[in-house]
Amino acid sequence: MNTLNESFTFEYCLTKKYKTNQQTKKITIKNEYDVNQFARTIYQGEEGIFESFFTIYLDNSNNVLGYSRIGKGGITSVNVDIRLIFNNAILSLATAIILVHNHPSGKLNPSNADIEITQKIKKAGEILDIKVLDHLIITEHSFKSIINEI
């Protein structure tokens, strides 16, 4: 059974290997559309099945260093441990992170729990000097950035 760190290391190495083999092809996040496109590749069609929470780790130029699945839940919720998010951010030397989770219901409105966890993660990031650039909710057919609602 993989631990979260083993999973993160694998995903982190895959991203680094991809960047090494494709010197001219860096994965750079410029806006929420780029986040959505990248998130679709890591969800691999599971957006409508069960709720999952991913964190994307970025360098100072917003190049993707890696990503990790922080939690995998049921149809209506997922547990998120902030310590795991920042453990992986520190291990990858990230200067910024982007949060992504899905709503299998297809509704894009953030729940109170979504807003609360985002606020907590932003506060923790401020202490560690790791920026939370965005939090995207995705569904099978759409997405919404909620960072400006916090």
Structural domain of 80: 4-149
Distance CA 61, CA 22 (A): 18
Q: What is the CATH number of the domain that holds 130?
A: 3.40.140.10
pLDDT at position 13: 52
The first and second tokens of residue 1, run together, are 């059974």
User: What is the predicted pLDDT for the residue at 108?
Assistant: 96
Token pair in block for residue 21: 């083999």
Q: pTM to 2 decimals? A: 0.85
Structural domains of the chain, count: 1
Q: pLDDT below 70 — which residues of the chain?
A: 1-25
